[in-house]
Amino acid sequence: TVAKKFCDRKYSGDRASKRPDLLLTQGFDGRYLLIEFKRPSKTIGREEVAQAEDYRDELTSQLDSTAAFEIMVVGKGRDPKLSPDRLAANVSVQSYQSLIAAARNEITWLVKTLK
């Protein structure tokens, strides 16, 4: 609801086509997860990470002042020029392929465990 209200207010009229593709959820620990979706063919570089961080900064004004965020940017994968050591601790860059593979492995493990 927060993300929808924010986007409806900030990205309306002529700016509607600039609307971000993002998902904001709150975990059981109170932390927010902001996921910025890019095209599956888009390599994630510094510009895409900065864009997601800007969204976080703008959304923060809509939430409790103690709100903590994790940011995930999903696309083709990380640009090799973007060192993972240089990303903030709360920012991750993922590929759709790696997320699907991790989910498949977890489901396989859960099914084996439950048998």
For residue 99, what pLDDT is reported? 95
What is the full DSSP assignment across 84-111?
A: GGGS-TTEEEEEHHHHHHHHHHHHHHHH
Interatomic CA distance for residues 35 and 40, integer angstroms: 14
Q: What's the whole-model pTM score?
A: 0.81
For residue 76, what pLDDT is reported? 97
For residue 19, what pLDDT is reported? 64
Nearest residue to 71 (alpha-carbon basis) of 96, 50, 100, 86: 50
Predicted confidence pLDDT, tens digits, the chain (115 residues): 776 777 777 777 776 666 667 777 888 888 888 899 999 999 999 999 999 998 888 888 878 778 889 999 999 999 999 999 999 999 999 999 999 999 999 999 999 999 8
Interatomic CA distance for residues 24 and 32, integer angstroms: 7
